[in-house]
Each structure stands twice: as structure tokens, then as C-alpha cells.
Structure 1
Amino acid sequence: MNNQDPVLDDKKYNKLIVALSIIIPIVVFALFSVKIPNVEPLSFLPPIYATINGLTSVILVIAFIAIKKKNRVLHENLMTTAIWCSALFLLMYIAYHITSDSTKFGGEGAIKYVYYFILLTHILLSIVVIPFVLITYVRAITNNFEKHKKIARITFPLWLYVAVSGVIVYIMISPYY
């Protein structure tokens, strides 16, 4: 256990959280214009990273249930696993997009607007959730549980939406790969 003031411990992570919250979206956006020449497209990745998003969703829900049942160790392990799943998703997503052309949605009519609404909110919230996840995690590892609980109430639904909407986006666009 940490015997130091948790608020002081939180602050030492702030610069890293801000840096990652800015750098990750910028790098992902920049890599969309990068294509590695003469490399076989990694077209097998979308169903894998969609599955990882689905797994992240399940892990988040089980972790939520675990903490409600006061099973802190299980909750901690599941949340760490969810973070690793999200990081693995991001690496695969980047690898796919630097080796493959983006797939265009081919649906017509109202479903097209539904797809783009889900895609847009997924993208925007995937950027917004980064600092929330990092702050929530830091507050947990620094034993600042009161502040952790407060922000987790925001982080959980955001992260869950991003994970679930990622699966929905994949399902909707998969016929056009």
C-alpha cells in the first residue's frame, strides 16, 4: 500500500496523461496518410480487433459487477486487462490502416446515416475516453479511491460505448470489405 498523499501521487502522472491524450489521437490521425509500400495488406485484422473490442466490452461489464460485489482484486485485474485489450486493439487498428486502404460503407438510405452517426460518435468518444481511462487508472493505482469512483462513473459508460460501437461499426461495414 502507498502511504503518501494520493493527491500528490496523482499529480506526478498529469503530464504523462496529457501527453498521451494528445499524442495518441495525433499519431493515429497522421498514420492514416501513411501506407507502407510493398507490404501485404493486413486485411485479416478487422475481425480480430472487432473481437477484441467485444472482449473489452465484456471485461468492462464483468469488472463493473466485480466491484459492485466488492471483489476489488478481480476488478483490478479485469480493468488492467481491459486497458491491455484497448492498447492491442489500437496497435492492430494502426497496422491495418497503414497496410490497407480504408473500406467505404456501401449502405444506402437511413442505414447510411445510422452508420455514420455511430462511426462519428465512436471516433470522437474514442479520443475523449483516453484521458478518462488514464486518470481513472491513475487514481486507482495511487489509492485515491474517492476520486477514482467519481471519474469511473463517467469513464465506464464512455469506454463501454466506444468498445460496443466499435463492434457495431465493424458488423455494419464488414459486408463491404
Structure 2
Amino acid sequence: MTDKFIFRFVAGVTIFVIAVVVILNRHLIPGPAVPPSFTPYLPLLNAFLNGTCSILLLVSLYFIKQGNITVHKRLNILTFCLSSLFLVSYILFHYLMQHDTPYGDTSGDGIASPEERATAGGLRTLYLTILVPHIVLAAGVLPLILLSFYRGLQMQVEKHKKLVRWAFPIWLFVTVSGVVVYLMIKPYYHF
């Protein structure tokens, strides 16, 4: 495979994934009138997958620092598979749930009153301060991950290292902040 093909493939996958997420978050494709009974468990699954990926990324870093390329590769492949499973679960959740959960909404009707928003106060600001970079970086890290995987699997070590300098900390931030976002929004889920 040529680099040109790989870049086009990565760009295509990235654009497709971002488009699907945007379409589903805007509820442009109607989901079922009544979500399946497993739907409320998907955010917890997503947080578990993100947390597991955070740990695996750190363990993978440990093994590459020890010079154990085989374990490093296996852990990264596992992390990539779990992140892919997260993406499928995330997309499925947003397809099945046809409403958003505002931070600070304790009414359960999806509309936070001014009093509820005031109660959330500074925590809502903190939540948004974590959520916004989480979303932006989650979209931006995908091509870095795909390209670094390709370079790593091809044993193009120098190119792999250059990409990973950016991909690793961003991917780690996205997985850790995903867990934090879940823990912060969880009290406002009303399924």
C-alpha cells in the first residue's frame, strides 16, 4: 500500500466517523420510539471501556520503555479494539436515545430550570471545560491513531515515534476525560 492510499483511507474513515457522530448527536436519523432495555447501560459500558483504554495505554507505554515491542504492540491492538468497541457503543447509544442530557437537569424532562442550572453553577462550567476539549480532541485524534498504527505495524519506527508524540497524550486525555465526563453527567441521566 502506498502512503497516498493510506492517507486517503485515514481521511475517509475520519470524515465518515465524524459525520455519523454529528448526524446522530443532532438526531437527524430517528431512532426507535422506545429504546431497548439495555440502552441505559451503554454510558457505563463506554466509561468502562474508556477507563480500561487509559490503563492499557499507560501499560503499553511502560512496555515500550522497557523495549518489549511485542507486548507494546499487543496492548495497543487491544486498546484500539476496545476504543473501536467504544465508538460503536457510543454511536448506538446516540441512535437509540433521542434526547440529550443537559448538565444540571434534575427534573428528568430534559429541560433544566434556571434554579437547577444555578445549583450546578461552577460544576457546569468545569463540566463544559472538560467536555469541549474532550469532543474536539476525540475527533482530531482518530487520524493520528490510525496513522501511528500503520507506521508501527510497518515497523517505520521513526515515523511512528513522531506521530505517537502527539497521538499518545491526546488519546490518553480523551480516554481519561471520557470517564470524568461520564461521572459528572451520570447524576442527570433519567432513563
Alignment TM-score > 0.5, same fold: yes
| Number of the residue aligned with 2:122 | 110
| Number of the residue aligned with 2:33 | 38
SS at match of 1:35: coil
Partner letter of residue 102 of structure 1? D
Name which of 122, 132, 136 aligns with 2:144: 132
Contiguous gaps of at least 5 residues in structure 2:
105-118
| Number of the residue aligned with 1:175 | 187
CA distance in 1, matches of 2:138, 2:187: 24
Shift of 1:9: 4.4
Partner letter of residue 32 of structure 2? P
The 8 Å contact of residues 10 and 139 in structure 1, kept in 2 or not, is answered as no
Query: Deviations for 1:24-74, whole angstroms, at most 9, x for unmatched residues?
Result: 111111122123123425111111110000000000000010100001000
Identity of aligned residues (%): 37
Task: Give the 4+ runs in structure 1 shifted more than 4 A.
Answer: none
Shift of 1:22: 1.2
Query: Deviations for 1:122-160, whole angstroms, at most 9, x for unmatched residues?
Result: 000000101110110011112211110111111100000
* Alignment of 1:29 onto 2:29: no
| Number of the residue aligned with 2:62 | 65
CA distance in 2, matches of 1:170, 1:154: 24
* Alignment of 1:123 onto 2:135: yes
SS at match of 1:103: coil
SS at match of 1:12: helix
| Number of the residue aligned with 1:14 | 7
TM, length-normalised to structure 2: 0.85
Q: How many residues align?
A: 170
Shift of 1:81: 0.8
CA distance in 1, matches of 2:63, 2:52: 16
RMSD: 1.3
| Number of the residue aligned with 1:3 | none
CA distance in 2, matches of 1:155, 1:57: 13
Contiguous gaps of at least 5 residues in structure 1:
1-7
The 8 Å contact of residues 57 and 160 in structure 1, kept in 2 or not, is answered as yes
